[in-house]
Each structure stands twice: as C-alpha cells, then as structure tokens.
Chain A
Amino acid sequence: QKEVEQDPGPLSVPEGAIVSLNCTYSNSAFQYFMWYRQYSRKGPELLMYTYSSGNKEDGRFTAQVDKSSKYISLFIRDSQPSDSATYLCAMATSGTYKYIFGTGTRLKVLA
C-alpha cells in the first residue's frame, strides 16, 4: 500500500463548478499537509498548508484535514479555466520533515 493515494484523473468540470480533490494516507504520524498546483513544465506552487487537523480557507480554496479518516481534501469554488493544472497533495511528519507526495490529479476546467 502506498503511503499516499491520489486519483490521477483527469477530472473535467464546467467553469463555475465546485471542484473536490482528495488524498488518502496511511501514516497516522503525518502532521503537515499541503496542496500544490502545478502547471505543465513548471514547478509546484504551494496553495494551501495545514498543520495537524481542521479546515483552512483562502479565497476560492478550502483545505480540509480529517486525521481520524486519514483523508485530506481541497475544494475549489467558482472554478476557472486558469485552474486547469495538476494538483499535488503532500504530507510530512514533524521532526523528519520527509515529504510524501501524491501522484497528482489533472484538472480541466472547461470554458
């Protein structure tokens, strides 16, 4: 079993839709949770960072961490064609700071 599982997609949605992206993990020691957006041939851009559990909101983006279910989510409201990218989840334990990445979900927002 992989430490982090992420559906590769592609996920196609119409402009304006709410997008839900998810990752599951197996290591209960993970404390740091991140979501990145990566455009083709570019480096990943940190979108959301959460320590431990709970929700975090930033503009159109909301990140949720459910440690009891070992499940994290990223919600994108009012999706735009410019949101079309690959979204990576990442997590790490405190102390080691060794990051484990999902394989990424490709998102296409259709105009």
Chain B
Amino acid sequence: DGGITQSPKYLFRKEGQNVTLSCEQNLNHDAMYWYRQDPGQGLRLIYYSQIVNDFQKGDIAEGYSVSREKKESFPLTVTSAQKNPTAFYLCASRVAGTGELFFGEGSRLTVL
C-alpha cells in the first residue's frame, strides 16, 4: 500500500542526545515536510524539501537538521540544541501539481 511511514512511533531521549526520526514515502511525491505539533497550537513547519538534495528552513528550524538524499526519504534529526524537543512530530508529502498534503502517523519524542 502507498503511504508515509514514520519511525519510531515513540522515542525517549536523555537531555544532550541527538535523535533521528525516519520518514519514508512510496507515493512518488517530490515535496516532503516536517511539522511539530504541540497541544493547543497549530502545526508548525520545521523544514521542507521540494526536491532531492534541496531543503528549506521552516518557521522553527533552530535545533533541527534534515537531509534529502533520496526522493523517498526525509529524516529529521533533533539535536541537543533544541531547547524544548518533547513533542509530536509529523512528516508529510505533497501530491505534485496540487495542494493535497498527506501525513504519516507521527513520532512522539519525549526527553527525560
């Protein structure tokens, strides 16, 4: 089945550690996005990529990094520089030529 797979679903991290969240899609979408969701707030854009080997910072990129070496994959690294990393992280991809945006199931990161 086509879709967006995020892993892991739940992740615990100690302060000071970097962690990488995986996002893989088999929808052949060019554009991919990472969002952060906190209670009572709308989704906030961390990074997005329109094409392989290219990505742009979103509204809250500080403390995060990404890569886009393959069309199917857009991993997000939450670094120790991110001050408040505990959140629900959502990966999305967009249908070419339309505005339709599809999401994965999310990864919940908890910093202990």
Q: Which residues of B, 8-52, contact A by the 8 Å Cβ criterion? A: 31, 33, 40-43, 45, 48, 50
Interface-side segment among A61-69, A75-83, A96-104: A96-104
The interface residues of chain B, by DSSP majority, are classed as: strand
Tell me if B100 is interfacial: C-beta within 8 Å of chain A: yes
Decide: B108 and A41 in contact? CB cutoff 8 A: yes
User: Are B41 and A103 interface neighbours, CB within 8 A?
Assistant: yes
- Determine if A101 and B42 form an interchain contact, defined as CB atoms under 8 angstroms apart: yes
Contact B99 A94 (CB under 8 A): yes
Rounded to whole angstroms, the CA-CA distance of A103 and B42 in the bound complex is 4
**Contact between chains at A43 and B90 (CB < 8 Å):** yes
Assess whether A49 is in contact with B42, with CB atoms less than 8 Å apart: no
- Residue of B40, B45, B88 near A98 (CB, 8 A) is B45
A49 touches B100 (CB 8 A): yes
B43 in complex: contacting residue of A49, A51, A94, A101, CB < 8 Å: A101
B25 CB → nearest A CB, Å: 12
Q: Is the CB of B101 within 8 A of A100?
A: no
Please determine whether B42 and A92 come into contact, CB atoms closer than 8 angstroms.
no
User: Would you call A97 and B45 a contact (CB within 8 A)?
Assistant: no
Contact check, A99 vs B41: say whether CB atoms are below 8 A apart.
Answer: no
Instruction: Decide: A32 near B104, CB < 8 A? Known: A97-B31, A101-B43, A103-B42.
Output: no
Interface string of A28-46 (1 = CB under 8 A from B): 0001101010000111111
Which of chain B's residues 72-112 have a Cβ closer than 8 Å to chain A? 88, 90, 94, 98-106, 108
What's the nearest-Cβ distance from chain A to residue B101, in Å?
6
Measured CB to CB, the residues of B under 8 A from A are 4, 6, 31, 33, 40-43, 45, 48, 50, 88, 90, 94, 98-106, 108
> Can you report 5 residue pairs joining A to B where beta carbons are below 8 Å apart?
A32-B98, A43-B106, A46-B100, A49-B100, A103-B42
